[in-house]
A and B are shown apart, each in its own frame.
Chain A
Amino acid sequence: MADLLTVQGLETRFRTREGMVHAVNGVSFALREGETLGIVGESGCGKSVSVLSMLRLIPTPPGKVVAGSAIYQGKDLLKMTDEEIRQIRGSQISMVFQDPMTSFNPVLTIGRQVAEPLEIHQGYNRAMAYERAAEMLNMVGIPRAKERLGDYPHQFSGGMRQRVMIAMALICTPQILIADEPTTALDVTIQAQIVELVKRLRDELGMAIIWITHDLGIIAGLADRVNVMYGGYIIEEAPVKELYTNPQHPYTIGLLNSLPRMDETDHRRLASIDGLPPVLLEKPGYCPFAPRCHLAVERCWNENPSLLRVGDQHTTACWVDPGTGRERQ
C-alpha cells in the first residue's frame, strides 16, 4: 500500500532554563494507508513531541521544529501556511488525547463540541452537525446519543468521555487518527473497551492510526508495525509480531522483559532496566542507551548508530547483535 504520510529527519528542540533540550533527534517513519503504527517508549522519549511537531502544535517558543519534513498528500506539513495546516487538523489528521477529563471545554455541551469540527471544516449548520454528531456518538457506543448531546462533559464518566473524544476526532472521517496515550488515564477494563472500539472503527472507516503508548501490551493486539523510541530517537522498527518474537535492540528486549507474561509458570521477579532515561540537554555523540546497556561495546561510546536493517522489514539502531553479544558485521 502507498505511503500516506512520510516523516523524514524530524528534529524538535525546547529552550529551557537549563539549556536546549533535544526532544526529538531526527525521527523518520512512514505511515501507510489504513495501517496502524504503534509508537512505544518511556515518558519523555519524544513520542508525543514528534507527532505534535508534525501537526505544528508545539508551543513556539519555547519549542521549535528545527529540521525535517512530514509529507502528507505531496505537501510538507511543516512548510504549510498556518491556514493550510489548520484546514488539515481535525478534518484529515485528528487527535485523541490522553486525559479525557481535561480535554473537553467544561462550559460547552458535548453536542457542540463533537459537532465543532463539522462546523469548522464542512460548513454544516447547527442542526445538520448535531444530527451527524448523534450518529457518531451512537457509533462509538454512547447510549441514547441524541439526548446526551445536550449534556455537559462532567456528566460523562472517563471511559464515556474518551469515546466522545474519539467520536469528535472521527466526525470528519480523517485519513489519519493520532491517539496520544488514549488509554493511559483509564482503568484496565475500560482500556480494553476503547481498544476494541478503535479496532472496530478502523475496520469500518479505514483510517490509518498512529497509536502512542508506553504499554506494549496494548500495542500487541492493535498495531501492524511498531516504532520503539528512546531519547528522541527511533531505535527499533519492526512489524508487531517480529518485534515481540525477535527484538533486536537491548532496550526493546529490556522493555519486553519488564512485562509480566500470561504463559509464564515460574514466578520470576519482573526485570527492570537499570539507570534513568537520559537528560536530553545535548545531542549525544554515542548511543543514547549505552549508559544503561549491559551489551555496550567500545563503538557504542564513539558513534551513535543509525537504523540498520536486520530483517525484511526490521531495522534497529544498535551496533551489537544481542543474540551473540558481539558487534554486528
Chain B
Amino acid sequence: MTAQLKLDAKASAAGGQPLTQKGESLWKDALRRLIRNRAAVIGGIMILILYFFAIFAGVLAPYSYEKQTLTDQNKVPQWLINVFPTMKPYAQVSENYLMGADYVGRDLFSRIVYGARVSLTVALIGPFISLLIGVTYGSISGFFGGRVDNIMMRLVDVLYAFPSLLFIILLMAFFRSTFSKPDPGTFSYALSQADARLGGMLFIFIGIGLTAWETMARLTRGQVLSVREKEFIEAARTIGATNWRIMFRHILPNIVGPLVVAETLAIPGYISTEAFLSFIGLGVNPPTPSWGAMISDGAQVVRTYPNQTLFPALALAITMFAFNFLGDGLRDALDPRLRGTQ
C-alpha cells in the first residue's frame, strides 16, 4: 500500500494522476485477510484435497469399497503391528492393504476414500438446504416484521425447543419404516428409489435440512431487522425501489458476511450428525461407506484391531478441523471491526 502511495505521489509530482487510494470491495478486503490467516489457508487446502479424494475416489482407491475378500479378514500391514505391538500375537500380516482390512476383508483405505464422498456431500448439501430455507424464512420474517414476524418466529421457537438430534433420529426411523416397501409408481416409491440410488443419503439430507434451517432463520431475521432500520433503506424507498430490490440489492449484501460465517461453522455439525446417524445405524445403507458406519464397525473390535476405528475417526476429525479452521478464518476476515487492518 505504501509503495502504491509513493508511486502515486511520484506520478502526481510529475504532473500525472493525482494521489489516490484504490477502493476495495468488502470481499476483496476479506479475501486478502483470509489469505494472511495461516490456519484458514491450511483448512481451505485440506478441504480442497479432501474434495479431490472424494471426486476421484474411483481412481485413487486401490480397491472397490464393497469387494469382500473373506480370506483377508482383519489383516493388517507390518507397519501397523510396529505401531500397535499388542496385535503381534494374533494379527495376520498382509502388505496388500495400506491401513488393513476390515472384518469382511474390505480395504480400509479405499473405504475411507469413498467415505469422504458422504461426509463432503453432506458438507455441501447441508448448508445449501439450511441457507435456502433459513434465509428465505428469516428474511420474510424480518422484513415484514410485526405480526408476520411474531407468528413465524414462534413456530421456529417451537421447533427449536425439540431436541434436533432426537428429531432427526425419529425422522430417519419414520422414513426408513414408511418408505421401506412402497408400491411402485407412488411418490414414496420414487423417494425410496432415489434414496437407494444415493446409498441412503437422501433421507439424511432431508433430516438435516428439516432441522438445520432454524438457527439460520433466526440469524437472518435478526440481521435483516437491524439493517432494515438503516437510513439507506429509507433512502432506497424514496427512489422508488420495490420490496424485492430492497431485500436483494440492499439488505442481503449487507448480511451475507455473518451468514457465510455461521454456515461455515455449522458444517462440522452437519458432518458429525451424518456420522452419528450412520454410527447408530440410521444413516447410509451398507455397503455404502460412511466414516460413522466404519467407526461403528470398528468399535466392535477396537481392542483387537484399533486401526479399524482409528483411521475413519482420524479422517472425520481432520475434515471437521479443516472446516472449523476455515470458518474461524472467515469470521475474522469478515468481521467489520477488523476491516482495513492487516
Report yes or no: A90 in contact with B230, Cβ–Cβ below 8 A.
no
- A117, closest chain B residue (CB): B239
Query: Is the CB of A35 closer than 8 A to any CB of chain B?
Result: no
B23 nearest in chain A by CB position: A151
Give Cα A86 to B241, complex, Å. 7
Q: Which of B23, B231, B239, B253 contacts A90 (CB 8 A)?
A: B239
Nearest CB on A from B260, distance (A) = 13
Contact residues in B for A76 (Cβ distance below 8 Å): none
* A105 contacts B242, C-beta separation under 8 Å: no
Q: Check B242–A104 contact: CB distance below 8 A.
A: no
> How many whole Å from B109's CB to the nearest CB in chain A?
46
Give Cα distance in the complex from A116 to B232, angstroms.
13
- What residue in chain A is nearest B252 (Cβ atoms)? A107
Contact call A168/B23, Cβ cutoff below 8 A: no
How far, in whole Å, are A147 and B317 apart by their CA atoms in the complex?
A: 49
The answer to whether B240 and A120 touch across the interface, beta carbons within 8 angstroms, is yes
User: Contact mask A97-118 → B, CB, 8 Å, 1/0?
Assistant: 1010011111111000000110
Given A105-B232, A116-B239, A120-B245, answer yes or no on A155-B23 (Cβ-Cβ < 8 Å).
yes
Whether A89 contacts B231 by the Cβ 8 Å rule is no
CB <8 Å contact, A117 and B232: no
Within 8 A of B (CB), among A247-265: none
A87 at the interface (CB under 8 A from B): yes
Give a binary string over B1-40; 1 marks a CB under 8 Å from any A CB, 0 the rest.
0000000000000000000010101100000000000000
Asked if A103 meets B232 with Cβ closer than 8 Å, knowing A61-B146, A151-B23, the reply is yes
Which one of B23, B238, B242, B250 contacts A95 once the chains associate, using CB atoms below 8 Å? Answer: B238
Q: How many residues of B contact A (CB 8 A)?
A: 22
Q: Does A57 contact B (CB under 8 A)?
A: yes
Alpha-carbon gap, A90 to B23, bound state (A): 28
Known: A103-B231, A120-B245, A150-B23. A108 touches B253 (CB 8 A): yes
> Would you call A91 an interface residue if the criterion is a C-beta within 8 Å of the partner chain's C-beta atoms?
yes
Contact at B231–A97, with CB atoms within 8 Å? yes
Main secondary structure of the interface of A (DSSP, over half): loop
User: A90–B232 Cα gap in the complex (Å)?
Assistant: 14
Closest chain A residue to B230, Cβ basis? A102
B235 touches A97 (CB 8 A): yes
The reply to whether A55 and B245 contact each other, CB–CB distance below 8 Å, is no
The one of A61, A120, A151 in contact with B239, judged by C-beta atoms closer than 8 angstroms, is A120
A165 to B232 alpha-carbon distance, docked (Å): 11
**In the complex, per-residue mask of A119-162: 1 if CB is within 8 Å of any chain B CB, else 0:** 01100000000000000000000000000001110010000000
Given A103-B231, A107-B26; A168-B240 close (CB under 8 Å):
no
Q: A195 near B: Cβ within 8 Å? A: no
Give every chain A residue within 8 A of B230 (Cβ-Cβ): 102
Bound Cα distance A121, B25 (Å): 27
CB pair B239–A168 under 8 Å, yes or no, is: yes
- Measured in the bound complex, the distance between the Cα atoms of B35 and A223 in whole Å is 55
A90–B254 touching, CB < 8 Å:
no
Give CA–CA (A290, B158) in the complex, Å: 56
A104/B240 in contact, CB under 8 A: no
Known: A57-B238, A109-B23, A120-B242. 10 other contacts (CB 8 A): A57-B237, A61-B146, A103-B232, A108-B249, A116-B236, A116-B239, A120-B239, A120-B241, A151-B23, A165-B235
- Point out residues on B near A: beta carbons under 8 Å: 21, 23, 25-26, 146, 230-232, 234-242, 245, 249-250, 253-254
A selection of 24 A-B contacts at a CB cut-off of 8 Å is A57-B234, A61-B146, A86-B240, A89-B239, A89-B240, A90-B240, A91-B240, A94-B238, A95-B238, A97-B238, A99-B231, A102-B232, A103-B235, A104-B235, A105-B236, A105-B253, A107-B26, A108-B250, A116-B239, A116-B241, A117-B240, A120-B239, A120-B240, A169-B239
